[in-house]
Structure 1
Amino acid sequence: MNQKQLAGEKAADYIEDGMTVGLGTGSTVFYTIQKVGEAVENGLRIKGVSTSASTTKLAESLGIPLVSIDEVDQIDLTIDGADEVDPKLNGIKGGGGALLFEKVVANASSKVIWVVDPAKKVESLGKFPLPVEVIPFGAQRLFRYFEKQGLSPVIRNKENAPYVTDSGHYIIDLHLEKIREPEQLAAWLDSLTGVVEHGLFLNGADLIVVGEADGPEIIEKY
């Protein structure tokens, strides 16, 4: 069993009968969703809220009942991946392009668990490029603005065209190397017209499950 699978499957243990569960996106939470599918087949009753088209497709293939985010008042628990996590349980997310829906679902959740492999644990955020989701109109203008600010932006591409998110937006990845003041950066990005969302998830998780070789490590917010 690989480290991602260890983390993903362990997180499924936190799901209880009758819960509304946010289902994240990515290669580690893939194993969580598979485990949830097995539990549903064996009688677990939950409602899932998906964070992406790919997760919806996977959950439906496994028989997990899904509801829209707009059909629920509260999500009991969301399990998702992360691209980087610091000691304060701040994270960078959005490598898979689902950051907007993931943040909407996380903000509606009573508890958030991230599942990661050990390589995702860092002392400070920023080595992983920070995704910034922007509307297509004016995207090049924002790109040039980020360039002038020295943020080393790259418009994410797929098959020689701009990558398009599930909600029809583009992503500009900022190659920052180190983020010294994530709260200040998040507030600044939030203030920019044309920016829909960014991948800084501050105070984003209540608990992290790390797939260590000798078994899952649990890190709780202190």
Structure 2
Amino acid sequence: MTQDELKQATARAAIDYIAPKLENDSIVGVGTGSTANFFIDYLAEIKGQFDGAVASSQASAERLKSHGIPVYDLNSVDGMQVYVDGADETNAALQLIKGGGAALTREKIVAACADEFVCIADESKWVPVLGNFPLPVEVIPMARSLVARELVKLGGDPVYRQGVTTDNGNVILDVHNLEIAQPVALEQAINNITGVVTNGIFALRPADVLLLGTESGVKTVTAE
């Protein structure tokens, strides 16, 4: 199977997983990226079974709206049954690296509001230790150099993502050469740097369930 076919299979599995849980007033949190896009397209097939969605990016919001799915501002909803999103890396504890699409802050906010966080990914994203994928850090523009110096002190090699502005008007530093053996501690340390909005480690709020696309089918994984 191609990587796109694996992504499609996991997205379809996510629909099968959440559909029995949905009610007429349910709100579905929707992430950002190529796998999430497949999920949005399949979600349109059952749009009559739930109230609407909250999107983690403008791009996902527009895709949802194009399918006739109501999109709500997060401040206007009381709760969210489930949040479905992809990942750039996942370990066995379902701690993630996210932010390749520069939507990490909104993704982290939506995940924090959800009763259940379902991650959908293909098997290329499964790693023993996080950090091979460069860690995205969203930064207030005027603090870019300050934050970069502090990230070097933590052992990383930060690279400014040229030409990218987040939906929040900020910039991204991609931190290379980190071996993230203690994801919770590093997530907290980076977030404590003045000028950082947030970073792409999802360990304080990891995924609850991982639907992992493999050559032998989609596997349902829960945290070890």
Q: Determine if the TM-score, normalized by the shorter chain, exceeds 0.5.
A: yes
Pairwise mapping of residues 29-44 of structure 1 onto structure 2 (< 5 A)?
29-40=36-47, 43-44=48-49
The answer to whether the 8 A contact 2:92-2:223 is kept is: no
**Paired residue for 2:129, among 114, 124, 129?**
124
Report sequence identity in percent: 37
CA–CA distance in 1 between the matches of 2:172 and 2:118?
Answer: 25
Counterpart CA distance in 1 for 2:155 and 2:93 is 26
Q: Tell whether 2:19 aligns with 1:17.
A: no
Distance 1:184 1:123 in 2: 17
Q: Deviations over 1:62-92 (max 9, x none)?
A: 1111111001121110000000000011010
1:57 to 40, 48, 62: 62
Cα RMSD (Å) of the superposition? 1.4
Query: Partner residue of 1:113?
Result: 118
Q: Which residue of 2 aligns with 1:200?
A: 201
Unmatched tracts of structure 2, length 5 or more: none
2:6: which partner in 1?
3
Superposition TM-score, scaled by structure 2 size: 0.92
User: Residues 36, 179 of structure 1: CA spacing in aligned structure 2 closer, same or farther, 3 A cutoff?
Assistant: same
Q: For 2:217, which of 202, 209, 215 is the aligned residue?
A: 215
Measure, in 1, the Cα distance between the counterparts of 2:184 and 2:150.
20
**In the TM superposition, what is the alpha-carbon distance from 1:8 to its structure 2 partner?**
0.9
Q: Which residue of 2 aligns with 1:183?
A: 184
Compute the TM-score of the two structures, normalised by the length of structure 1: 0.93
Q: Is the 8 A contact 2:156 2:178 kept in 1?
A: no
Structure 1 residue matching 2:198: 3-state secondary structure: strand
The verdict on how the C-alpha distance between 1:17 and 1:171 changes in structure 2, with shifts beyond 3 A counting, is same
Contact 2:150/2:193, CA 8 A, preserved across alignment:
no
Per-residue deviation at 1:148? 4.7
Q: Who is 2:144 aligned against? A: 139
Give 2:51's aligned residue: 46
When structure 1 is superposed on structure 2, of 106-115 and 200-209 the one drifting more is 200-209
C-alpha distance in 1, partners of 2:211/2:119? 6
Instruction: Say yes or no: does 1:84 pair with 2:54.
Output: no
Instruction: Answer yes or no: is the 8 Å Cα contact 1:130–1:176 preserved in 2.
Output: no
Matches of 2:222 and 2:148 in 1, distance apart? Answer: 37
Whichever residue aligns with residue 8 of structure 1, its letter is A
Displacement of 1:214 in angstroms is 2.6
Query: How far has the Cα of 1:138 moved from its partner?
Result: 2.0
Q: Displacement of 1:45 after TM fit? A: 2.8
Q: Determine helix, strand or coil for the equivalent of 1:154.
A: strand
Poorly superposed stretches of 4+, deviation over 4 Å: none
Amino acid at match of 1:178: E
Question: Relative to total residues, which structure has the larger helix share, 1 or 2?
Answer: 2
- Alpha-carbon deviations, 1:156-190, whole Å to 9, x = none? 113xxxx1100001111111242122122112112
Following the alignment from structure 2 to structure 1, what is the Cα–Cα distance between the partners of residues 223 and 184? 18
Deviation at 1:150, TM superposition (A): 3.5
Checking the alignment, whether the CA contact within 8 Å between 1:7 and 1:209 is kept in structure 2 is yes
